[in-house]
Structure 1
Amino acid sequence: MATTSSSTSGSTTPLLADVDDGVLESALPKPSPSADASTPLARRRPTPLPKAQLFVLCVIMLAEPVSYTQIFPYINDMCYRLGYAKSEKDVGFISGLIDSLFAISNLLTVMHWGRLSDKIGRRPVMVMGLVGLFACNIVYGFSKSLWLTVVARLTMGALCGNGVVTQSIVSELTDETNEAQAFAFISLMWAVGCIVGPTIGGTFSRPAEQLPQWFDTPFWRANPYLMPCLISAGLMLLSLLFCVCFLKETLPAKARAAQSPREREESNERLRAGERAYGAMDEQVPAEAAGILPKEEDRLWTTWEILHAPGMVKAMVCTFLMMFENQAWDIVFILYAYTKLSLGGLSLSNIQIGYSLSFAGSVGAIIQVFIFPRIQRRFGMSMYPVVLAVLLLMFPAAPALRALVRGAVGDMERGEAGALALVGACGLAFMGRIAAMIFPLTFILCKRITPTPSALASTAAIAQTVTAGARAVAPWLVSSLFALSANSSFLGGNLIWALMTLIVAGSVWYARDLGSALEEAEKDKAERLGS
């Protein structure tokens, strides 16, 4: 049973400091019906979650999505009013470029942060990322020139390695019976960030105009986009406080070294009793001594070796496609909602865009916490292409909604399109939250596709590099395609929607046998690890 839990938890194996040789064999957890690997996952009793640490991690995780999404309601308005774009038709080119810069710099640095967290620990890397987000939010808020905005966004992406660190921490805290619930909470924080971030950006951008009773002063008129950045920076400080004061180190060697003698003895007592509190953090028996992990596997795998592991290429291609398509939707939806009806959009105001995103995020939070873990335990990875296919409904629905609104109210000015436009936008944003169930599924996929426990963080870093690549390509590409569609009569101005629908259809077809590839990879891993 210890062999099974070590291989399926997907975590690196801790070093042993104070376990007596005589308890090694008795320390291994005893087989039980609730944890037998042959028992279907849906029928196993879930391992209790480390709720306190997950709560701390959730608070910390709120920082990144808020920092990333708070610019969405006003980025197009910012590019136009500050003169980054010559005309409203050109806004998509500039805003897409600015958004891509975050992912481009993240693409070039995320492998470094993943490797560094394997060497110095998870907490120090998390602290560096939060400090970087705090500083860059303030610089972004004060920027009034394109070059300074670009520098702030580039630096923000380069200093932020929190995604790969968080994924590693959750993997080290869970096993396959509770991973869906734990990863759902992490995805929940992204959904909450999608509520908080756009609400902040939509409500507090241009405060001298939107909240004149409090902020109609020369300072706020001169810095129209500073307020949401300051609020976002305040949340970064809160996350930093929780990280420094409450987050425990989970890198196995570091975590073991930080234990007090009493904590080590309590861990050893649990081992003697065959107990397992949660995830990998209670696996104190050294892999080689306990016969869990062959010596040749207990090492840091190279990137080349990981990429050539069974099923890895399939998993990484699916990861790229899902991120590209979901990121494309997030970006093009905001641009579509902002653009005038006469140019192919819905003519919504900044605050209306923020409210629609916040509504969708609220409903998405319920989906992530209460619905996703249940259906994932029942259907497993077979639901991956099904969730991906939700986008097949969303991309064609956008031009249909615009045609419906325009037919009902005509070419209204921004913010005056009426309830139909706002309700329709909320509906499309809600569908985006359903499609977002693909993210915790991808976390689970990357954890299970890991060829050996010692390659956990490196595999997560590869996945983060792949997703960063998708995030680098998608914003500029779809924003440019949207701008081209607005300036062209080809396909009635619906080029962007037609192309994205075809891309999604192709990715759903490609992911149809992902479950088989994962089974092959897990079988190969079990054979190598001696399971």
Structure 2
Amino acid sequence: MPTARNASPPGIRQNQGQIIAAENNSAAVIRETPLPWGKLSVLLAVRLSDPINFSLVLPFIYKMVSEFDVVKSPKDVAFYSGLIMASLSISQTMTVMYWGRLSDRIGRRPVILIGLVGNTATTILFGMSRSFTWALITRSMNGMFIGTSSVVKSVVVEISDDTNRPRMMAMLPLAWNLGAVVGASIGGIFADPVHQYPGLFGSSKVFATFPYLLPSLIGSIVAVFGFIMGIYQLDETLVKETCVVTAPLVPRLSTNAANELTPLVGRDVESTVVEVEQRSIRDLLTPTVIRVMTTNALMCMSVSMSDQLYPIFAATKPSDGGLGFEFRKIGYSLAISGIAVLYVQLIAYPKLALKHGVLFCYQAGMKILIPVFIAIPFLSLLADKVKSAIDVAIPDASPLLSLPAISTPWGALSLDYCLLWALLTFLLLARIAGDVLAFTSINLITANVAPSRADLGFMNGAQQMAMSFTRILGPLVSGTAWSWSIKHSLPFPFNSHFAWMLCALLMAVASYMSHTLPNSVNKFAADNRTRAGNNEISNSNAE
């Protein structure tokens, strides 16, 4: 019968051999295989470019859309902002499966490089938006190329083993979260430079015409750098999986007549290497895979809604249930989350995953996010108190633009202002911790349920497609819910809390469904299949 064998590169075979030896020796202590920093650094640079170009629009999307002619009322800005954000995810959903399957055929390297080039060009074009239509089209084009991020996950799985895979997979959300922090900071600091920095850019006609071009150009630098590193440093990791078919060796009869010395059946066996074909979609969609994809979709739906909701919530007036921040303050608040990323991603998560398993970490992340989503809208009450007091002390003052000085007549307000930022910082740090636990774990779980390495591209592509689909609905649902809630004077929870409560509800359902997953999702199934094939070959040879 056919037996599986993975034609892996020497480094991967060595890693697998270390694990097999440790399994065979009950007294052996499994040690983590050293990380391949050369290849990993290239992947991190590639991975970093996507979130930077994605998140740099968040601080100024509210102001950008409010300047388009299509907006008739400030309360409609959230809806049209949601359309622009959803357009990226629509295009990503339509193309992500294509990129995953294409990488299984032509290789990981060319697909990643194509995505970097497209990401750079479309981000710059989006920065030149002067109309809603242009912004919608260029954002959609950008979504076509960021779907290649699922291929990076396949490469990480292919260059890792069970001992270092949790740490390497943790690097991907780390790059994403750091990139999101950097991107949000770039968008908040460099948007509309003519008015923010008149001394430097006051005479620039280009940036006066395209106020959001500068952050787009700066954000694209990382993608260009990643492309250059990919050209010279990124090796192809796709290895066709094969199986060994053993059969009795039957001699060919010559034209001469056979005599009594001619054996009827050969005693030796002949080995034929046959490439393993990719499974059909129906074969891959097992009950466990379907449950993984469903809870992943619900979790991503909740997070994508909150990602779109927060900058709109922060920019909305406190009287309408927001914080009243201008886009630079929104960028600063988004950058706060970077404080927790390094510790949670590099130190806490690998230890938790090795001790408790990735399924436990996934469930813990969602349990953290539920109360965070419920608590965030209550900050508007404190922001409204600060804004009202500032209006009394300084008429026509901009809301929350600077920290009130203690020496001013209304210096006591600084206590409420500091409390607002302290609570906001705590909630954003908790939110990023939950994001890291949930997304890192679901990436590992998705790879773990892949039956073979030949199906990794499909599995990661399917996960990315599910995430992209929820990112279509997320901005639309959250934007519509927010606009509806602030237009109507309804009691709690149908007031400005309504959209945040929807996020918490979806996360609660995803958390409940995650408890139906088996503990087998904690291990990489493809390696188990490979070891079983190797053991079967060894037993056959021994017989």
Please report the TM-score for the alignment, with normalisation by the length of structure 1.
0.83
**8 Å Cα contact 2:56-2:187 kept in structure 1:** yes
**8 Å Cα contact 2:243-2:275 kept in structure 1:** no
What is the alpha-carbon distance in structure 2 between the residues aligned to residue 27 and residue 74 of structure 1? 49
> After alignment, is 331-340 or 499-508 more displaced?
499-508
Structure 2 residue aligned with 1:390, among 365, 368, 374?
Answer: 368
Structure 2 residue aligned with 1:301, among 249, 267, 279?
Answer: 279
Gap change, CA 1:430 and 1:40, over 3 Å in 2: farther
Matched ranges for 1:114-129 at <5 A = 114-129=100-115
- CA offset digits 1:172-195 (Å, max 9, x no partner): 011121111001111111111022
**8 Å Cα contact 1:180-1:444 kept in structure 2:** yes
Query: Alignment partner of 2:517: what SS?
Result: helix
Gap change, CA 1:31 and 1:142, over 3 Å in 2: closer
> After alignment, is 124-133 or 44-53 more displaced?
44-53
What is the alpha-carbon distance in structure 2 between the residues aligned to residue 373 and residue 428 of structure 1? 23
Structure 2 partner of 1:491: 491
Q: Which runs of 5+ in 2 are unaligned?
A: 248-271, 392-397, 403-416, 536-543
Structure 2 partner of 1:288: 244
Query: Alignment partner of 2:22: what SS?
Result: coil
Q: After TM superposition, which residue ranges in structure 1, 4 or more long, deviate above 4 angstroms?
A: 12-16, 26-34, 37-41, 294-297, 519-531
Note the aligned Cα RMSD (angstroms): 3.1
What is the alpha-carbon distance in structure 1 between the residues aligned to residue 146 and residue 164 of structure 2? 27
> After alignment, is 193-202 or 512-521 more displaced?
512-521
- Does residue 1:236 correspond to 2:235, yes or no? no
Structure 1 partner of 2:470: 470
**8 Å Cα contact 2:153-2:460 kept in structure 1:** yes
**Among the aligned pairs, what percent are the same residue?**
28
**8 Å Cα contact 1:187-1:439 kept in structure 2:** yes
1:151: how far off? 0.8
Structure 2 partner of 1:518: 521
- Does residue 1:507 correspond to 2:485, yes or no? no
**8 Å Cα contact 2:302-2:504 kept in structure 1:** no
Structure 2 partner of 1:275: none
- Does residue 1:378 correspond to 2:355, yes or no? yes
1:521: how far off? 9.8
What is the alpha-carbon distance in structure 1 between the residues aligned to residue 446 and residue 89 of structure 2? 20
Matched ranges for 1:59-458 at <5 A = 59-217=45-203, 218-253=205-240, 287-288=243-244, 298-307=276-285, 309-380=286-357, 381-410=359-388, 413-416=398-401, 418-437=417-436, 438-458=438-458
Gap change, CA 1:475 and 1:367, over 3 Å in 2: same
* Structure with greater contact order relative to length (CA < 8 Å, sep ≥ 6): 1
- CA offset digits 1:489-509 (Å, max 9, x no partner): 223412222332222222211
What is the alpha-carbon distance in structure 2 between the residues aligned to residue 163 and residue 39 of structure 1? 39
- CA offset digits 1:194-252 (Å, max 9, x no partner): 22101100000010111111011233222111110111122221111111111111112
Aligned partner letter, 1:226: L
Gap change, CA 1:182 and 1:241, over 3 Å in 2: same
**8 Å Cα contact 2:299-2:506 kept in structure 1:** no
1:452: how far off? 2.3
Aligned residues between the structures: 480
Gap change, CA 1:439 and 1:498, over 3 Å in 2: closer
Gap change, CA 1:452 and 1:88, over 3 Å in 2: same
**8 Å Cα contact 1:311-1:520 kept in structure 2:** no
What is the alpha-carbon distance in structure 1 between the residues aligned to residue 471 and residue 297 of structure 2? 9
Query: Alignment partner of 1:63: what SS?
Result: helix
> After alignment, is 490-499 or 196-205 more displaced?
490-499
**8 Å Cα contact 2:104-2:454 kept in structure 1:** no
1:427: how far off? 2.6
1:429: how far off? 2.1
1:523: how far off? 11
What is the alpha-carbon distance in structure 1 between the residues aligned to residue 294 and residue 99 of structure 2? 22
More helix by share: 1
What is the alpha-carbon distance in structure 2 between the residues aligned to residue 338 and residue 503 of structure 1? 24
1:95: how far off? 0.5
1:105: how far off? 0.6
Aligned partner letter, 2:371: L
Query: Alignment partner of 2:325: what SS?
Result: coil
Aligned partner letter, 1:498: M
Gap change, CA 1:296 and 1:450, over 3 Å in 2: farther
- CA offset digits 1:31-66 (Å, max 9, x no partner): 77873189799x621122111111111112111000
Query: Alignment partner of 2:515: what SS?
Result: helix
Structure with higher Rg: it is 2
Q: Which runs of 5+ in 1 are unaligned?
A: 7-11, 17-25, 254-284
- CA offset digits 1:247-295 (Å, max 9, x no partner): 1111125xxxxxxxxxxxxxxxxxxxxxxxxxxxxxxx9542799xx98
What is the alpha-carbon distance in structure 1 between the residues aligned to residue 111 and residue 207 of structure 2? 35
Gap change, CA 1:209 and 1:132, over 3 Å in 2: same
> After alignment, is 51-60 or 515-524 more displaced?
515-524
Aligned partner letter, 2:38: A
**8 Å Cα contact 2:126-2:135 kept in structure 1:** yes
What is the alpha-carbon distance in structure 1 between the residues aligned to residue 483 and residue 463 of structure 2? 30
Structure 1 partner of 2:261: none
Query: Alignment partner of 2:23: what SS?
Result: coil
Aligned partner letter, 2:355: R
**8 Å Cα contact 2:162-2:524 kept in structure 1:** no
Please report the TM-score for the alignment, with normalisation by the length of structure 2.
0.81
What is the alpha-carbon distance in structure 1 between the residues aligned to residue 27 and residue 482 of structure 2? 46
Structure 2 partner of 1:19: none
What is the alpha-carbon distance in structure 2 between the residues aligned to residue 191 and residue 89 of structure 1? 30
Gap change, CA 1:510 and 1:216, over 3 Å in 2: same
Aligned partner letter, 1:508: S
